[in-house]
Amino acid sequence: MTAPLAAGPMAEAELPAVVALWQAAGLTRPWNDPAEDIAFCRSSGHGEVLVLRRADGAIVAACMVGHDGHRGVVYYVAVDPAERGAGHGRAIMAAAEAWLKARGIWKLNLLVRAGNEAVQRFYEQLGFEAQPRLYMEKWLDPGRQPAMRQER
């Protein structure tokens, strides 16, 4: 029997491991510096990076979770590719939901890239439902807008 996993906030020393996990899971984009995203999230007072650790301290899953005072959002949900299928995705999402509930947040939103049916099915199994919404954006800092707007 394997030792239980523990979920909790990322320690500063775990930053390189979390960024490497997100890269291995294919979540990063050239125009988004994940270390900068983490720093901003943690400085806001409304977000945290949660990690799921094995007993030996190895990180097997991670996500960024935050809220606007009304709705919660998760980003960068990743499981170590070598550990997929072991329930770690469910465990890190449960940790994110618990983090939000502890702050009085009653609704959780997330975005899934178009065409990512496997991830959409994963979230549907967790009780998420696709909604007929139009996602819109406006770049407040044009210098950060990627040259290629279409994500792959």
Calculate mean pLDDT across residues 72-94. 92
- What span, in angstroms and rounded, lies between the C-alpha atoms of 37 and 64? 9
Per-residue pLDDT for 150 more than 70? no
Question: Mapping DSSP to helix (H, G, I), strand (E, B) and coil, where does residue 28 land?
Answer: coil
pLDDT band at 149 (very low <50, low <70, confident <90, very high): low
> Cα separations (Å) of 122 from 18, 66, 68, 74, 77?
21, 20, 25, 14, 11
Element (H, E) at 20: helix 15-24
CATH superfamily, with its number, for domain 6-144: Gcn5-related N-acetyltransferase (GNAT) (3.40.630.30)
DSSP states along 129-143: -----------SSGG
- Summarised one tens digit per residue, pLDDT across range 27-73 is 898 888 999 999 999 998 999 999 999 989 999 999 999 999 889 99
